[in-house]
């Protein structure tokens, strides 16, 4: 790709079915090369389960397939999803309804970076598959720290072949990180420890308070 033609919001607003199907109808390619997508879902679920009847903020919630997995497999009392692509929110609302967890969830349209939560905090916040499209990574992590009472979980893509392919195929800007970036971006956060788990072509970080 010579020059990105779309914002991440424009790019993802027309891809709710595509992304949902990575989970619902995984192809052989997905199973082989998108393992990180499934690993990060499992890591976030493990963290959510640690906190019992917790509240969850799903940042860049997309089609809500993860949201449903986390709600159905944990005691989480409520999940708020925020996504700036409204077609993703529409998909997520329908999906949570079909899966019987609509009463424990809500999906709002907005940019996490600028959305005013009015001082509201969540026990656990999660941003998986989001930093890939975030130029303001420092601001995003600092805001996650602010809105999270107990822990926050983030996925990070590494540079490599998959990232090179995405740079060619995706029409929006994409970003990558190394472990030093992840540690640096958490400096100054109000956390007790930072766990970094390697995944296929990336990492998942767990910051606990």
Ligand X SMILES: C[S@@+](CC[C@H](N)C(=O)[O-])C[C@H]1O[C@@H](n2cnc3c(N)ncnc32)[C@H](O)[C@@H]1O
Cα distance between residue 205 and residue 189, in whole Å: 13
Closest distance of CB 192 from ligand X, Å: 25
Helices 16-24 and 65-72, axial angle in degrees (round to 10):
40
Which residues, 74 to 93, sit near ligand X by CB under 6 A? Answer: 82-85, 88
- Check: CB of residue 173 under 8 Å from CB of residue 9: no
103: Cβ–Cβ under 8 A, 6 or more apart, which residues?
none
Q: Is 107 in the site for ligand X (CB under 6 A)?
A: no
How many residues contact ligand X, by CB under 6 A? 22
- Beta pairing partners, 108: 82
Interface stretch with ligand X, choices 71-79, 106-114, 168-176, 185-193 (CB under 6 A): 106-114
Q: Is 8 in the site for ligand X (CB under 6 A)?
A: yes
Closest distance of CB 60 from ligand X, Å: 3
Closest to 179 measured CA to CA, from 200, 157, 151:
157
Degrees, nearest 5: CA angle 64-70-74: 155
Q: Is 133 in the site for ligand X (CB under 6 A)?
A: yes
Closer residue to ligand X (CB): 118 or 192: 118
Q: Is 62 in the site for ligand X (CB under 6 A)?
A: yes
What residue ranges bind ligand X (CB under 6 A)?
8-9, 12, 19, 60-62, 65-66, 82-85, 88, 111-113, 128-130, 133-134
């Amino acid at each position: 790709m010579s020059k990105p033609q779309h914002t991440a919001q424009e790019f993802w607003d027309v891809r709710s079915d595509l992304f949902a199907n990575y989970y619902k109808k995984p192809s052989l390619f997905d199973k082989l090369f998108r393992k990180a997508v499934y690993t990060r879902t499992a890591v976030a679920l493990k963290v959510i389960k640690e906190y019992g009847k917790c509240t969850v903020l799903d940042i860049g919630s997309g089609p809500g397939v993860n949201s449903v997995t986390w709600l159905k497999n944990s005691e989480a009392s409520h999940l708020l999803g925020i996504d700036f692509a409204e077609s993703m929110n529409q998909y997520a609302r329908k999906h949570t309804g079909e899966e019987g967890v609509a009463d424990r969830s809500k999906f709002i349209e907005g940019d996490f970076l600028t959305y005013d939560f009015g001082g509201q905090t969540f026990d656990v916040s999660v941003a998986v598959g989001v930093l890939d499209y975030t130029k303001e990574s420092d601001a995003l992590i600092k805001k996650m720290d602010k809105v999270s009472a107990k822990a926050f979980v983030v996925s990070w893509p590494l540079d490599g072949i998959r990232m090179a392919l995405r740079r060619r195929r995706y029409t929006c800007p994409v970003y990558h990180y190394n472990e030093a970036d992840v540690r640096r971006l958490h400096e100054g956060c109000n956390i007790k420890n930072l766990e970094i788990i390697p995944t296929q072509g990336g990492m998942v970080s767990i910051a606990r308070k």
